[in-house]
């Protein structure tokens, strides 16, 4: 029915607990999906053996060692037993409302090619979850309801049918731009893009980003980010809030036009903010100065949107 795939970081420090919780949760989904773990970072092979997943150690990488998105998709699609696939970030806990959403998307895809995306709720989960307890989902949902928050409008999973992307650039995964390209490219190819955030409780345990290589402490000026910015040229910065459709308890809904405009605003804010670190022409320097003057207003508007649960409809 479904193949989930991901490429974990090394199972070290806090990420050992975070990724263990996430990947074990996928094995608890019913019906159980096929799971593919890629990469040869510490602990990946052991986790694959533990849950009975397919392990593909070899993935092409950048000079700094970051996995390439096009290689990730090619390897996973070649090994998958199913046409229905989902890339999930390795720190995302999924519960069975995800499988309910999958069933709805199966019906939609019979009418039109589709892509289901969604963002996570961030909450602190410092301990290993006990999946032998029948109420682990309800306890986690309660924790999310009390302490959870939306941190960004970015996408954390992509449910699609094999072959949706055939010309994915060699983006460095996790280094900005790449996820927006996937979503926008699917839209350009005529796929129905659906934001399932309201229907699916995807959970990320809070963590920092110290694992990303930086230049003088500036992550956005790292070689991988600059490379991604150049590969992204000609695309638009699409996140969950740009999806024309939403999936909620009431079913599939067309996103309100006013909220889609706010999504365009957030996309421009993301792209401008990132581009200033990747490009250093006179034009970008002048534009950056103007943007810095407007930044307090931009942040205020952005905060307002985030407080509205990042436009759930």
Based on the fold, state whether residues 299 and 175 are members of the same structural domain. no
Q: Tokens standing for 209? A: 């980003």
Based on the fold, state whether residues 9 and 39 are members of the same structural domain. yes
For residue 251, what pLDDT is reported? Answer: 84
For residue 229, what pLDDT is reported? Answer: 86
Based on the fold, state whether residues 206 and 285 are members of the same structural domain. no
For residue 286, tell me if it sits in a domain. yes
For residue 120, tell me if it sits in a domain. yes
Q: How many CA atoms lie within 13 A of 59 on its CB side?
A: 36
Count of CB atoms situated within 10 Å of the CB of 92: 24
Q: What is the pTM of this model?
A: 0.86
Q: Is 264 exposed, middle or buried (0-12, 13-18, 19+ CB in 10 A)?
A: middle
Q: Which of 240, 246, 253 is nearest to 305 (CA)?
A: 240
For residue 109, what pLDDT is reported? Answer: 73
CATH of the domain at 20: 3.90.550
For residue 270, what pLDDT is reported? Answer: 65
Q: Which residues pair with 254 in a beta bridge?
A: 245
Helix (H) or strand (E) run with residue 180 in it: helix 178-188
For residue 302, tell me if it sits in a domain. yes
Based on the fold, state whether residues 267 and 249 are members of the same structural domain. no
Based on the fold, state whether residues 108 and 88 are members of the same structural domain. yes
For residue 235, what pLDDT is reported? Answer: 87
Indicate the residue among 239, 254, 269 that finishes a domain: 254
Indicate the residue among 214, 232, 254 that finishes a domain: 254
Q: What is the mean pLDDT of each run of 10 residues along the chain (313 residues)?
A: 96 95 98 98 98 98 96 98 97 97 87 90 95 97 92 89 95 93 96 95 77 51 87 88 88 77 66 59 65 65 55 43
For residue 236, tell me if it sits in a domain. yes
Based on the fold, state whether residues 288 and 244 are members of the same structural domain. no
Based on the fold, state whether residues 84 and 160 are members of the same structural domain. yes
Based on the fold, state whether residues 289 and 274 are members of the same structural domain. yes
For residue 313, tell me if it sits in a domain. no
For residue 312, tell me if it sits in a domain. no
Q: Which of 198, 207, 284 is nearest to 240 (CA)?
A: 198
Count of CB atoms situated within 10 Å of the CB of 279: 15
For residue 215, what pLDDT is reported? Answer: 45
Based on the fold, state whether residues 95 and 201 are members of the same structural domain. yes
Q: Which of 235, 209, 229, 208 is nearest to 280 (CA)?
A: 229
Based on the fold, state whether residues 241 and 177 are members of the same structural domain. yes
Indicate the residue among 236, 254, 272 that finishes a domain: 254
Provide the domain limits for residue 249: 3-254
Based on the fold, state whether residues 27 and 171 are members of the same structural domain. yes
To 5 degrees, how large is the angle CA 34–CA 199–CA 151?
95
For residue 84, tell me if it sits in a domain. yes
For residue 186, what pLDDT is reported? Answer: 97
Q: Which residues have C-beta within 8 Å of that of residue 54, sequence separation ≥ 6?
A: 34, 35, 36, 37, 48, 79
Which pairs from 296-302 meet CB under 8 Å and 24+ separation? 298/269, 301/265, 302/266, 302/269
How many structural domains does the chain have?
A: 2
Based on the fold, state whether residues 164 and 262 are members of the same structural domain. no
The C-alpha atoms of residue 244 and residue 160 are separated, in whole angstroms, by: 16
For residue 198, tell me if it sits in a domain. yes
């Amino acid at each position: 029915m479904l193949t989930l795939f991901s490429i974990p970081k090394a199972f070290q420090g806090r990420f050992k607990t975070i990724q263990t919780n996430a990947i074990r949760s996928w094995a608890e989904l019913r019906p159980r999906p096929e799971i593919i773990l890629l990469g040869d970072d510490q602990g990946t092979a052991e986790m694959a053996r533990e849950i009975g997943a397919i392990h593909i150690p070899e993935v092409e990488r950048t000079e700094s060692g970051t996995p390439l998105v096009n290689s990730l998709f090619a390897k996973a699609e070649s090994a998958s037993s199913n046409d229905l696939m989902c890339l999930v970030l390795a720190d995302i806990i999924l519960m069975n409302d995800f499988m309910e959403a999958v069933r709805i998307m199966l019906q939609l895809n019979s009418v039109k090619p589709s892509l289901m995306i969604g963002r996570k709720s961030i909450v602190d989960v410092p301990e290993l979850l006990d999946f032998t307890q029948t109420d682990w989902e309800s306890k986690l949902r309660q924790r999310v309801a009390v302490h959870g928050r939306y941190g960004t409008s970015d996408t954390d999973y992509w449910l699609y049918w094999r072959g949706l992307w055939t010309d994915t650039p060699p983006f460095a995964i996790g280094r900005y731009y790449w996820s927006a390209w996937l979503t926008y490219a699917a839209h350009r190819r005529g796929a129905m893009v659906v934001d399932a955030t309201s229907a699916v409780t995807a959970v990320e345990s809070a963590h920092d980003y110290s694992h990303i290589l930086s230049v003088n402490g500036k992550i956005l000026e790292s070689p991988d980010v600059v490379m991604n910015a150049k590969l992204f040229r000609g695309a638009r910065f699409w996140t969950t809030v740009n999806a024309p459709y939403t999936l909620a308890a009431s079913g599939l809904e067309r996103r309100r036009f006013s909220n889609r405009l706010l999504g365009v605003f957030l996309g421009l804010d993301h792209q401008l903010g990132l581009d200033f670190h990747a490009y250093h022409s006179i034009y970008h320097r002048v534009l950056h100065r103007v943007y810095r003057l407007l930044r307090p207003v931009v942040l205020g508007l952005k905060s307002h949107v985030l407080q509205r649960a990042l436009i759930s409809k």
